[in-house]
């Protein structure tokens, strides 16, 4: 078949192909006028940048003071191409190259996320597939596979480098963090100086039906909230949760209203519990960063970010009685939408990334993580990160988008849509609160049904062409043109000899650990944790203590699961180790 001659036939006619609605289904008018925002009161509803209710941004000078934090997932880019170097060598080089400009995010192996150990029968080929195999303090010691991440932690303490504990699976985040505390203590570093943030949202995996790994909701909620409480009391510069992983939930197919309502629903769930435990709202409320999805619908994304800060301000004052004069605003971040990226013509994803980054910046984010143009195909090659750095630099330095804070304020459309989103979120959130909050709404199955319905609706709109995806359901003739881009170099495995050298080394390392650790220390620490987990005291100090004494993540979580009345192994394939007496 010959390719379409774009000189002769322009696939774009004179009329929009798409249904005339925003991504979340708002029927918008042709234009907006003063009467659409007649009720808007500048001081009450907007305020100056850096002032309550922070619609216009978190800081008075915004990007003139400080550019957004540019997060980069660690691990994938190190381990994708197998160029005969050790992970540590590649990690050092990557640091030197400046790819991690101000923050690095963890991206755990699946067994790490599932909180089981590398020798569990479901793990096998997963070992070391992402950032490396984390299972105990041992994984991070000098000479071991994850020691390069220890260097990130040390830099956080010495230089204030931002650690992003972003497995996004709550129990995995808090186990790793407990390991870091035990590790840094052993190395003589002051872990109370750690700076960074954690996703640590134990509810969203039950909402989006992804990364769930059969972790019981009660177990996840308990260890995660225990960790939040302990961190707030002990590590002042660490944000112990983002209060609801809106990005992951959004990727399950929900709309903007649900994204914000679920995020704040989770936030309220954690905050209520911490306040009940005696943490003051003033000490806690501003810590969870508002981390949203940077979607392709430009104005909806901008208005969502502006609305999110006002929603926070209203919840803080109206629900928790905070004083607007002393209240602080959390940072607002985006993770650019992976599901907007296409496998067809990956170069178009560079444009999608640009639009989403512009929307994030015009919406006033304090941090942003971009996707590689390969998102729909593979993990990104280093070239994709270079492209993203270029996009951010061009937006800030050439296009001058970082010069003026909240430049779209006062636009009839932007203010109308910001108000509309806020109102609809509060109405939807009220429904959840009337059901008894997010945990109750999840347990009843209502949330999952809403997600399913939204995902199906989205799929139908794509299939019917109501939502246009260029090169997927429209403009397919553009696929006739071959536009090559660098892709990840694969380590090609043999199906009958599937383990790489590095994986074999990781398994040897794990076996050596299991053989050489001192069981007379492991045993009492785990048994003490088991007894504590049966009651309702905070288990986090005992978790840290178990890691201090060389317990593994699988053992720590297994013991807690069993103490709370669930199977030691949530997949019911293995039993507790023989040396433990769990009665």
Partner 1 sequence: MEERKVRFVLAKLGLDDHSRPLYVLSQGLRDAGMEVIYLGMFQTPERVVKAALAEDADAIGLSFHTMHYVGWVGETINLLKENKAEDICLFVGGVIPAEDKVLLEKVGVDEVFRPGTSMEVITSHIKEIVKRKRWQVAPKQ
- Which residues are at the interface with partner 1 (CB under 8 A)? 110-111, 113-114, 121-126, 129, 209-214, 343-344, 376-378, 455, 490, 492-496, 498-499, 571
Question: Nearest approach, Cβ of 20 to partner 1 (angstroms)?
Answer: 28
Ramachandran category for residue 475: left, alpha or beta (phi over 0 → left; psi -120 to 50 → alpha): left
Smallest distance, Å, CB 173 to partner 1? 16
Q: Number of C-alpha atoms within 13 angstroms, CB side, residue 236? A: 1
Output the smallest distance, CB 43 to partner 1, in A: 46
> 343 or 483, CB closer to partner 1?
343
Residue closer to partner 1 by CB (options 328, 491) is 491
Q: How far is the CB of 121 from partner 1 (least distance, A)?
A: 6
Give whichever of 69 and 447 is closer to partner 1, judged by the CB atom: 447
Rg (CA), the chain: 24
**Structure tokens of 42?**
């500048």
Sequence-ordered strand ranges (E) for 13-160: 69-73, 103-105
Query: DSSP character for 217?
Result: H
* Greatest CA separation for the chain: 79
C-beta of 113 vs 174, nearer to partner 1: 113
Whole-angstrom CA distances from 201 to 395, 470, 501 are 31, 33, 34
Specify which residues 197 forms β-bridges with: 164, 239
Instruction: Please name which of 536, 533, 540 lies closest in space to residue 565, comparing C-alpha atoms.
Output: 533
Closer residue to partner 1 (CB): 57 or 220 = 220
* Virtual torsion, Cα 93, 95, 100, 101, nearest 10 deg: -120
Give the nearer residue to partner 1 in terms of CB position, either 298 or 499.
499
Going by the DSSP 8-state scheme, the letter that residue 45 receives in this structure is I
Q: Could you tell me where the DSSP H helices lie in 114-216?
A: 147-159, 170-186, 204-207
Write the CB contacts of 554 (distance below 8 Å, at least 6 apart in sequence): 115, 116, 117, 120, 135
In the complex, minimum distance from the CB of residue 215 to partner 1, in angstroms, rounded to a whole number? 11
Length of the chain: 583
Instruction: Give the shortest CB-379-to-partner 1 separation in angstroms.
Output: 8
Choose between 28 and 210: whose C-beta lies nearer to partner 1. 210
CA 121 to CA 111: how far, in whole Å?
Answer: 10
Sign for the CA dihedral angle at 576, 580, 581, 583 comes to negative
Q: Which is nearer to partner 1, 473 or 538 (CB)?
A: 473
* Cβ distance to partner 1 smaller for residue 209 or 283: 209
Q: How far is the CB of 302 from partner 1 (least distance, A)?
A: 29
By beta-carbon proximity to partner 1, the closer residue of 128 and 330 is 128
Smallest separation, CB 110 to partner 1 (Å): 4
Beta strands in 48-146 (DSSP E): 69-73, 103-105
Minimum Å distance from CB 123 to partner 1? 7
CA–CA distance, 513 with 401 (Å, rounded to integer): 52
Distance CA(116)–CA(350), nearest Å, equals 37
378 versus 538: smaller Cβ distance to partner 1: 378
In the sheet that holds 162-165, the strands lie side by side as: 238-239, 196-198, 162-165, 103-105, 69-73, 367-369, 332-336, 290-294
Q: Which is nearer to partner 1, 104 or 211 (CB)?
A: 211
Q: Return the number of the residue (127 or 539) whose C-beta is nearest partner 1.
A: 127
Q: Minimum Å distance from CB 343 to partner 1?
A: 5
Minimum Å gap between C-beta 133 and partner 1 is 13
Distance CA 60, CA 50 (A): 4
Q: How far is the CB of 107 from partner 1 (least distance, A)?
A: 13
Angle between helices 256-276 and 298-314 (to 10 degrees): 20
User: What are the backbone dihedrals phi and psi of residue 145, each rounded to the nearest 5 degrees, phi first?
Assistant: -55, -35
Cis amide bond preceding 552, omega within 30: no
CA distances from 416 to 297, 303, 424 (A): 16, 9, 12
CB of 565 to partner 1, least distance (A): 21
Neighbours of 7 (CB within 10 A): 6
Closer Cβ to partner 1, 55 or 175, answer by number? 175
Cα distance between residue 560 and residue 174, in whole Å: 13
CB of 38 to partner 1, least distance (A): 44
| Contact in structure between 228 and 270 (CB atoms under 8 Å) | yes
């Amino acid at each position: 078949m010959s390719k379409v001659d774009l000189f002769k036939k322009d696939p774009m006619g004179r009329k929009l192909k798409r249904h005339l609605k925003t991504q979340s289904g708002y029927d918008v008018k042709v234009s907006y006028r003063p009467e659409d925002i007649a009720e808007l009161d500048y001081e009450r509803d907007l305020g100056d940048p850096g002032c309550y209710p922070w619609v216009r941004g978190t800081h008075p000078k915004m990007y003139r003071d400080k550019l957004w934090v540019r997060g980069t997932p660690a691990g994938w880019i190190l381990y994708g191409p197998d160029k005969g170097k050790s992970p540590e060598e590649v990690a050092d080089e990557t640091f030197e190259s400046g790819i991690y400009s101000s923050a690095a995010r963890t991206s755990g192996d699946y067994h790490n996320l599932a909180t089981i150990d590398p020798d569990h029968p479901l793990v096998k080929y997963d070992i070391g597939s992402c950032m490396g195999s984390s299972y105990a303090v041992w994984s991070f010691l000098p000479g071991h596979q994850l020691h390069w991440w220890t260097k990130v932690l040390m830099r956080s303490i010495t230089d204030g480098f931002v650690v992003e504990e972003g497995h996004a699976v709550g129990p995995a985040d808090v186990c790793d963090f407990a390991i870091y505390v035990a590790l840094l203590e052993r190395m003589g570093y002051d872990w109370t100086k750690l700076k960074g943030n954690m996703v640590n949202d134990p509810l969203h995996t039950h909402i989006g039906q992804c990364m769930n790994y059969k972790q019981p909701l009660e177990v996840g909620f308990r260890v995660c909230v225990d960790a939040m409480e302990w961190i707030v009391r002990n590590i002042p510069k660490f944000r112990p949760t983002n209060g609801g992983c809106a990005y992951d939930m959004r990727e399950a197919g929900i709309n903007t209203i649900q994204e914000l309502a679920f995020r704040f629903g989770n936030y309220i769930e954690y905050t209520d519990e911490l306040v009940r435990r005696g943490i003051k709202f003033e000490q806690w409320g501003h810590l969870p960063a508002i981390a949203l999805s940077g979607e392709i619908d430009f104005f909806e994304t901008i208005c969502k970010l502006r609305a999110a800060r006002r929603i926070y301000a209203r919840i803080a004052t109206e629900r928790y009685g905070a004083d607007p004069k002393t209240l602080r605003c959390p940072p607002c971040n985006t993770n650019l939408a992976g599901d907007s990226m296409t496998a067809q013509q990956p170069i178009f994803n560079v444009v999608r990334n640009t639009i989403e980054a512009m929307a994030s910046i015009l919406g006033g984010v304090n941090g942003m993580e971009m996707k590689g143009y390969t998102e729909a195909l593979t993990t990104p090659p280093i070239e994709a990160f270079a492209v993203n750095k270029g996009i951010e630099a061009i937006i800030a330095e050439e296009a001058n988008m970082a010069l003026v804070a909240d430049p779209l304020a006062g636009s009839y459309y932007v203010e109308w849509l910001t108000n509309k989103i806020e109102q609809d979120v509060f109405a939807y959130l009220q429904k959840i609160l009337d059901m008894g909050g997010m945990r109750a709404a999840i347990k009843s199955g209502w949330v999952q049904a809403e997600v399913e319905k939204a995902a199906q609706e989205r799929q139908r709109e794509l299939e019917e062409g109501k939502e246009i995806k260029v090169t997927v359901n429209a403009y397919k003739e553009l696929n006739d043109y071959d536009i090559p881009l660098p892709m990840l170099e694969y380590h090609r495995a043999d199906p009958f000899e599937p383990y790489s050298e590095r994986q074999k080394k990781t398994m040897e390392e794990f076996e050596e650990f299991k053989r050489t650790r001192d069981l007379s220390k492991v045993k009492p620490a785990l048994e003490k944790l088991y007894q504590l987990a049966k009651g309702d005291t905070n288990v986090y100090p005992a978790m840290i203590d178990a890691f201090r004494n060389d317990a593994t993540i699988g053992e720590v979580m297994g013991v807690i699961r069993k103490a709370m009345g669930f199977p030691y192994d949530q997949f019911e394939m293995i039993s507790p180790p023989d040396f433990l007496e769990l009665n």
